Amino acid sequence: MPSIVIPAHNEERTLGRLLDSLLAEPGGPSGSSDPSASGDSAAPAAPADRPDRSGSAAGDPSAPSLVPAAPDRPSADDFDIVVVCNGCTDDTAGVAAARGPRVRVVEIPVPSKHAALRAGDEHARGFPRLYVDADVVLGAADARALAAALDGPDAKLAAAPERHLPMTGCGWRVRAYYRVWQRLPAVREGLFGRGVIAMSGAGHARIAALPPLMADDLAASLAFGPEERTVVGAARVVVHPPRTWSDLIRRRVRAATSTAQLESEQERAARNEPAADPAPAGEAAPGRPADRPSARTSMGDLRALLRAEPRLLPSVLVFVAAAVSARRGAKKAIRAGDFHTWLRDESSRQG
């Protein structure tokens, strides 16, 4: 049985819509539909008799604690779903538990996506294994299509769905930015930026050796060659973009910081040396081979885009402005080696 691991940190506003879409019966709505139409984006109230979750059964507050799910919500037996609530101070666990016995809830005290993914692996039961961010929407049919792409003797090692970014409510500069971003070759072909990555058992063995990185989805995508990964056209995920320019810049600062960390780790691994200070965002690490896997956008990418679609010039200027702002905003964190502060945009989590 395929497993779905969902790391969730304070996602009571978004987790319900994802779980409802995954638990929909065959023939019902999937992640390819607009989740706002379901009318259930708000978190439901937790059951009054939900047990205390302050620690594990053994009494160790640092260990994961399993939360019994409410037994009154039936669904198909397609997947083993594990929600890992990491360092939550809201009712994320209650939202997950209210969805019924098909959803197993694990709680860990530290707010760390890497730790949540590791805990999810400890509790997940099968492969293929899907890692799904709590703030996206993926339907049951889409999850099945991803699992199918990883099954069989000639299957790929890793897969991701096509992405849909609903732009309703987004500012014009945000829309302009994503008009360019979605056309970039690395964005179209890579598995990152989708909030969903599916792995076969062999694929999982490869990424399990990766160090803890902020850019976990980018690192996972770059761990596989083009012939080893696939974007599944029959699957689609809804990824809610930031609505405001300031939240977009926060997200891009995080991306610039995490990319610098990843490149520093690549360089360290290539030289078999202890971790060194990363190169500033936008600069190549010293001695980095040109063919080292990377998803950075080059001026050549933008020029090629403009040659194909000259009308995109205003959007490209906005894209460059965002990149420059993100580079400046990331410098302090990179110099300090702060690869732990998660700059989360809240506008994409509005109902």
Instruction: Return d(Cα 114, Cα 84) in angstroms, integer.
Output: 11
The pLDDT score that the predictor gives to residue 73 is 39
Measured CA distances, 210 to 88, 168, 213 (Å): 25, 37, 8
Calculate mean pLDDT across residues 32-37: 41
Average pLDDT over residues 165-192: 95
Say if CB 55 and CB 65 are below 8 A apart.
Answer: yes
Q: What is the model's pLDDT at position 15?
A: 96
Neighbouring C-beta atoms of residue 183, cutoff 10 Å: 19
Q: What is the mean pLDDT of residues 75-83?
A: 77
Total-model pTM: 0.78
Say what the pLDDT of residue 44 is.
36
Label each residue of the chain as H, E or C. CCEEEEEECCCCCCHHHHHHHHCCCCCCCCCCCCHHHHCCCCCCCCCCCCCCCCCCCCCCCCCCEEECCCCCCCCCCCCEEEEEEECCCCCHHHHHHCCCCCEEEEEECCCCHHHHHHHHHHHCCCCCEEEECCCEEECHHHHHHHHHHCCCCCCCCEEEEEEECCCCCCCHHHHHHHHHHCCCHHHHHCCCCCCEEEECHHHHHHHCCCCCCCCHHHHHHHCCCCCCEEEEEEEEEEECCCCCHHHHHHHHHHHHHHHHHHHHHHHHHHHCCCCCCCCCCCCCCCCCCCCCCCCCCCHHHHHHHHHHCHHHHHHHHHHHHHHHHHHHHHHHHHHHCCCCCCCCCCHHHCC
Is 35 within 8 Å of 21 (Cβ atoms)?
yes
- What pLDDT, on the 0 to 100 scale, is given for residue 298? 87
- First CA to last CA across the chain, in angstroms? 33
Tell me the angle at which helices 313-336 and 299-308 cross, rounded to the nearest 10 degrees. 160
- Mean of all residue pLDDT scores within the chain: 79
Predicted local distance difference test score (pLDDT) of residue 346: 72
Residue 138's Cβ-side half-sphere holds a number of Cα atoms within 13 Å equal to: 30
Between residues 296 and 158, the one the model is more confident about:
158
336: confidence class by pLDDT, cuts 50, 70, 90: confident
**What pLDDT sits at residue 297?**
83
Specify the range with the lowest mean pLDDT, choosing from 35-44, 105-114, 133-142, 327-336. 35-44
Q: Are 144 and 236 in contact (CB under 8 A)?
A: no
Residue 61 has pLDDT above 70, yes or no: no
Least confident range from 37-51, 238-252, 296-310: namely 37-51
pLDDT at residue 57, rounded to an integer: 37
d(Cα 350, Cα 214) in Å, to the nearest integer? 24
Evaluate if residue 260 carries a pLDDT over 50.
yes
Residue range 274-293: average pLDDT? 42
Pick the residue with more confidence: 33 or 245?
Answer: 245
**Centroid of chain to Cα 267:** 24
Task: Tell me the domains of the chain and their CATH numbers.
Answer: 3-174+184-239 (3.90.550.10), 245-349 (no CATH)
Strands 229-239, 158-164: pairing is parallel
User: Which of 13-27, 95-109, 170-184, 260-274 comes out lowest in average pLDDT?
Assistant: 260-274
- Partners of 65 in the beta sheet? 107
- State residue 209's pLDDT score: 75
The pLDDT of residue 41 is above 50: no
Mean pLDDT of 74-83: 73
